Structure 1
Amino acid sequence: MNIMNYWSKFLCLGLCLIVSGSVVCQGQENEKEVVYRDYMRMEADLLDSLKRDEVKTLFCGVHALRLQAQQVKESTLVRLKPRRAEKKKLSPQNMIERRKGSVLTVNKYHRAMIRPEEVTGWATAVVLSEDGICVSNYHVFWEFLDTTAKLNPQDSIMFVATEEGRVYPITEILSFNKTADMTFFKVDTRGDVLTPIPLGNDLPAGTGVHLLSHPEGYPYAYTNGVVMRTTTSDAKDPFARRMELTIDYAKGASGGPIMDDCGNMVAMVSSIRAIFYSNQPPYSQQMNVKLTIPVSLFRRLIQDTDK
């Protein structure tokens, strides 16, 4: 090989590396921009939405919803076509992007009394059908379902909303199971087609899981962990089954979707059980056990319209 050919090949290789480098850089520049959202404004924005005339007429008050709810029999079957499980593994980033449209905030509107009117985030709910069937916890709706409960006189309406601030009135309770801590309900989609979450299967201990929920003051927070144990408090009652997790959540996350690596809903947030070193001061809290409702319990109350 003569010296001219050698240098020619060397220069070509160098140019290729430079071009490749520029392509990589260009690709990095074209990646989706990180958005920093002021989530502290969400409740104020929702209050503004409720004041629009076209929205006000869609709501029924808490007293009307309570009357309707108390006509519903426990464990009534809910007719819907569940979204089938997906098989492609998602990165946490893609999971958040693809599933946040299925995860709603549950909110209360408090009328002006001693304090000014306001909207407060209450819990989390998950979309199960395009036409507005959703699921959350029994304890989120217990005031409507328990005949002994007393409504807060400041409460006026209860509704769900998307991250973008789209408001959907809760129109009726469809079913519930107190032992399983779950309630199915319907919202008025206002002509929108909602995005249901795909339903997966129960998972064994040691399996990785993901959560997108609304801990108080921190809407649309992502956390992950593993299934710690699968337990039951009553072997004769399938609704007493729980998946215990190491995943992190708090007040406001109730009703949030626990997902597998493909973004399929495998359980729902229910409660927290704290473990203390002592039952006398100083208590010295050592651990929080997170109890969730396996998806198989949802399926017991779903009448699949596709079958």
Structure 2
Amino acid sequence: MKHFSKTIFLILTFLVGSIQAQELYKNSISTYKVGLKLEAEKLINAGDVVSGDSLSTMLKAKGYNPIDINLKSMQKKNLSPSEIYKRVSEAAVIVSPVGITKRVGKNGKAHKDINTYPASGYIIDSEGIIVTNYHVVSGFVYSKNTKARDVLVVMMKDGTVFPVKAVLAADKTNDLAILKIDPKGKELPALTVATKDAEIGDPVYIVSNPKGYYYAFASGMVTDKFSELKIGGYRNIMAISADYAAGSSGAAIIDQFGNVIATVCYTKTLNHSDNPARTQMVLKATIPASSLLNLLHKGN
């Protein structure tokens, strides 16, 4: 009996040690994927939401006034990559439409599905002002999105989830949207926005949520700067080499000091001219910080 008890003790000790070792790494499924659904469902059931229909009246391509916002002064101290990740990840958020749909299974029983479409964003004011892409918000409010129109939520790294209460400004041409949440008295971590655009060759960093890999970190450099014609006029684009993918929309591009220098916009696959099925390069396009500052300070 003593031998049996000792064996059980050793097994439990091993299991606890293994669990503790695993906890050194984040669990994207339980912490973010499942947590997002559970916390959003609580908000929906409590009625603490602004629906897609209600938010749609606030989303427009232009016609916004300047925003009264207290932006932090630019950071000037060089940071190590690990310091950048720590600072940025605290203010980086998951932005996701959420909706509850009901269906009847093959067995005739009723089932409930919680639908989410996570993207990215970042906090620029500790009182709850968030930047993301216009297309992230428009994907929530348009009626063609029939499965996730109950609430648009913002999830922080620690798992806290807030419902979006308002669209403060939006710019379809530059693919930017400024959102407001109510942090309920909590002072949120916020990023500084650069007042000077980066130059080609400058280092860049990004914390985003590509394809369910929440709070992933990548680095690279500014590879190009150009303008392109969109509906509504020309916009400036800053291309970078740091990796991102679907789910990264709205994420902040960061310089070596921890300042926001751009916002993720899109990717474009460049294929071989003689073999269209062969990918040669992926262009990663971002909107420079100057476009964000224009929207904040001048409106559109």
Query: What is the deviation of 1:239?
Result: 5.8
Shift, 1:160, TM fit: 0.5
TM-score (structure 1 length as normaliser): 0.79
Q: State the match for 1:278 in structure 2.
A: 273
RMSD of aligned residue pairs (Cα, Å):
2.5
- TM-score of the superposition, structure 2-length normalised? 0.81
Q: Give the match for residue 9 of structure 2.
A: none
1:59 equivalenced with 2:54 (yes/no): no
List aligned pairs for 1:259-270, cutoff 5 A: 259-270=254-265
Decide whether the 8 Å contact of 1:49 with 1:55 is kept in 2: no
Percent identity for Structure 1 against Structure 2: 26
**Matched residue type, 1:233:** E
Mind listing any 5+ residue stretches in structure 1 that lack a counterpart?
Answer: 1-32
Please state if 1:221 is matched with 2:216.
Answer: yes
Question: Take 1:87 and 1:119, find their aligned partners in 2: how far apart are those partners?
Answer: 42
Q: 1:152 aligns with which of 145, 151, 155?
A: 145
Deviation by residue 1:163-194 (Cα, 9 ceiling, x = unmatched): 11101110111111111110111112122111
Counterparts of 1:183 and 1:56, CA distance in 2: 26
Find the residue that maps to 1:47 and give its secondary structure.
Answer: helix
Residue of structure 1 equivalent to 2:16: none
- State how far apart, in whole Å, the 2-side matches of 1:188 and 1:239 are: 34
Q: Is the Cα contact below 8 Å between 2:72 and 2:191 reproduced in 1?
A: yes
Looking at secondary structure, tell me which structure has more strand per residue.
Answer: 2
Select 1:79's aligned residue among 56, 62, 68. Answer: 68
Which residues of structure 2 form unaligned runs of 5+? 1-21, 104-110
Q: Report the residue type matching 1:105 in the other structure.
A: I
State the alpha-carbon separation in 1 of the partners of residues 97 and 170 from structure 2: 20
Count of aligned pairs: 266
Does structure 2 retain, via aligned residues, the 8 Å contact 1:66–1:143? no
Question: Given the superposition, is the C-alpha separation of residues 55 and 209 from structure 1 closer, same or farther in structure 2, using an over 3 Å criterion?
Answer: farther
Indicate the residue corresponding to 1:141 in structure 2: 137
2:250 to 251, 255, 280: 255
- Secondary structure, in 3 states, of the residue corresponding to 2:151? strand
CA contact (8 A) 1:50 1:56 kept: no
1:183 aligns with 2:172: no
Which of the two has higher C-alpha Rg?
A: 1
| Cα shift readout 1:90-131 (whole Å, capped 9, x = no counterpart) | 111111111211100012222123363225242101111111
Q: 2:290 aligns with which of 263, 271, 296?
A: 296
* Structure 2 match to 1:102: 91
- Residue identity matched to 1:123: A
